[in-house]
Amino acid sequence: MLVGCKQKDLDISSFDNWDLGLGAPICIAGPCSVETPEQLDLTVAALVSEGIKIIRGGVWKPRTRPNSFEGVGAKALPWIKEVKDKYKVKFAIEVASPIHVEEALKFGIDIFWIGARSTVNPFTVQEIANSLKGVDMPVLVKNPVNADLALWIGALERFHQAGIKKLGAIHRGFSNFNDKTYRNSPMWQIPLGLKTYLPEIPLLNDPSHISGRRDLIPQIAQMALDLNFDGLMIESHIDPEKAWSDAFQQLHPSDLGQLLRALKTRKVDVDNPIFQSQLELIREQIDDVDRELLEILSRRMSLVEKAGEYKKLNNVTVFQRERWKKVFETRPEWAQALRLNPDFAKDLFQLIHTESIKKQTEVKERIDYPNIKG
């Protein structure tokens, strides 16, 4: 579900084409949380030996329940300064209040990110943005916890209006009770909506918080690169199983290195004219199929209207539970037989159902109030 954004276009002409000067794709890696000076030093040393140049680490952790580990707080900042100097790395942390910003700036933190739980709240975002006025610092805005593109764009706009030039976005997935696979559903159409609306803003993918589990990270990261994301933020810990937060999703630095070497980066466009013309041919066929799909849907809706009129004449309700139960049972089965994803068929028929009910209600109203509805 792509949430439309009807606001006036954000003026992005002043955005730097920001790539941190480190080449693409950018990879930010590091522990979910900074725990101890030793854990930080060992993790950073191992990540640097895998070629990582920007480290992440949570200092203040937004946890769902109280009394769980909420980050070591400001006392981690001098440890971070030490590893930054020792390993010549840049360091990114999450800030969720003006106090965090103030503390972090004292210790030369290089990059801030705004967490998913902060992005949902315009008051919080505005307060942080105000505290950054006059500070020339990269800010990465994670998507809000809920699937709302406008809220994500709104947060970026607040930082832009506060004068932040180096803005980026991080896709970390969306809360979804029905998703049994991912900790946070990727809903790729939303970050792609952001990319379409704000093409200048680097967009990173965070497969760690999307997956919630180590084994799914490679496929999500590859998908992001295939979709032309500008980079990744991945959680990595020297002893992942013993991590104080998000232990299931962190990778050992050597596994991260292996993953990064295995990922394929693809070119956005290939100059080769044969490739271009072949692709054009396939796209034309897709256009034809889409037209046919719409013709078929239009035929289906005509039949639905006919059934609606018939129901009305016989004084039968529009919604008939048994019929829809049967539709919902059979369509995913039919889809599977055609090697289509049954969940996709379920979602599709959910939409078709909503539209069909709407159509039949309109029929009912037309018949009930012929003079008003024409």
Nearer to Mn ion, 32 or 256 (CB): 32
User: Which range touches ligand PEP (CB under 6 A), out of 109-117, 149-157, 196-204, 292-300?
Assistant: 109-117
Residues 18-37, one symbol each (x = binds Mn ion by CB under 5 A, - = not), give: --------------x-----
Residue type, 69: F
State how far the Cα of 158 lies from the Cα of 170, in Å rounded to an integer. Answer: 16
Q: Least distance from C-beta 174 to ligand PEP, angstroms?
A: 10
Residue 251 interacts with ligand PEP (CB under 6 A): yes or no: no
Residue 35, Cβ density class (10 Å: 0-12 exposed, 13-18 middle, ≥19 buried): buried
Give how far Cα 127 sits from Cα of 70, 99, 123, 162, 213, Å: 21, 10, 6, 10, 33
Site string for Mn ion, 236-265 (x = CB under 5 A): ----------x-------------------
Neighbours of 13 (CB within 10 A): 6
User: Measured from the CB of residue 269, what is the shortest distance to Mn ion in angstroms?
Assistant: 35
Question: Pick from ligand PEP, Mn ion, none: which does 116 bind, CB < 5 to 8 A by kind?
Answer: ligand PEP
Number of residues that bind ligand PEP (CB under 6 A): 9
Is there a contact between 254 and 49 (Cβ–Cβ < 8 Å)? no
- Please report how close the Cβ of residue 109 comes to Mn ion at its closest, in angstroms: 18
Nearest to 92 by CA among 204, 239, 220, 174: 204
Q: Does residue 103 interact with Mn ion by CB under 5 A?
A: no
Q: Does 156 bind ligand PEP (CB under 6 A)?
A: no
Q: Are 58 and 94 in contact (CB under 8 A)?
A: yes
Contact footprint for ligand PEP (CB under 6 A): 32, 58, 62, 115-117, 142, 172, 209
